[in-house]
Amino acid sequence: MGATDGIINGTNGTNSTDGTNSVNGVNGRAAEVPATGHTLGQEFTDLVIKSMGPKTPPRIRTVMGSFIQHIHDFAREVNLTADEWMLGVEMINAAGKMSDNKRNEGQLMCDVIGLESLVDAITYQEAVKSNKPLTASAILGPFWRSDTPTRPNGTTITFDTPEDGVVAFMTGQVTSAETGEPLVGAVVDVWQASTNGLYEQQDAAQQEHNLRGKFVTDAEGRYSFYCLRPTPYPVPGDGPAGKLLDLMDRHHWRPAHIHLIIEAEGHKAVTTQIFDSESKYLEDDSVFAVKDGLTVNFVPRKNDPKAAVQLTYDISLALDTK
- The rounded Cα 30 to chain-centroid distance in angstroms is 37
Do 159 and 215 form a contact (C-beta atoms < 8 A)? no
Q: Which is nearer to ligand BEZ, 111 or 200 (CB)?
A: 111
Distance, CA of 99 to CA of 89 (rounded, Å): 16
For residue 103, the minimal CB distance to ligand BEZ (Å) is 10
Q: Which is nearer to ligand BEZ, 124 or 143 (CB)?
A: 143
Q: Which is nearer to ligand BEZ, 186 or 274 (CB)?
A: 274
Residues that bind ligand BEZ (CB under 6 A): 108, 111, 139, 141-143, 235, 254, 287
Q: Which is nearer to ligand BEZ, 15 or 277 (CB)?
A: 277
Q: Which is nearer to ligand BEZ, 10 or 242 (CB)?
A: 242
Residues 102-131 as b/e (b if ≥16 CB within 10 A, e otherwise) read: ebbbbbbbbbbeeebbeebbeebeebeeee
For residue 263, the minimal CB distance to ligand BEZ (Å) is 19
For residue 269, the minimal CB distance to ligand BEZ (Å) is 18
Neighbours of 55 (CB within 10 A): 8
Q: Which is nearer to ligand BEZ, 10 or 141 (CB)?
A: 141
Strands 167-176 and 315-317: parallel
Distance, CA of 147 to CA of 159 (rounded, Å): 17
Q: Which is nearer to ligand BEZ, 20 or 107 (CB)?
A: 107
CA-CA-CA-CA torsion for 308, 159, 315, 299, nearest 10 degrees? Answer: 10
Do 198 and 235 form a contact (C-beta atoms < 8 A)? no
For residue 288, the minimal CB distance to ligand BEZ (Å) is 9
For residue 159, the minimal CB distance to ligand BEZ (Å) is 19
Distance, CA of 77 to CA of 54 (rounded, Å): 31
Q: Which is nearer to ligand BEZ, 222 or 259 (CB)?
A: 259
Neighbours of 277 (CB within 10 A): 13
Residue nearest to ligand BEZ (CB): 141
For residue 34, the minimal CB distance to ligand BEZ (Å) is 45
Distance, CA of 179 to CA of 255 (rounded, Å): 33
For residue 246, the minimal CB distance to ligand BEZ (Å) is 16
Do 161 and 228 form a contact (C-beta atoms < 8 A)? yes
Of 202, 260, 193, 278, the C-alpha closest to 228 is 193
For residue 127, the minimal CB distance to ligand BEZ (Å) is 21
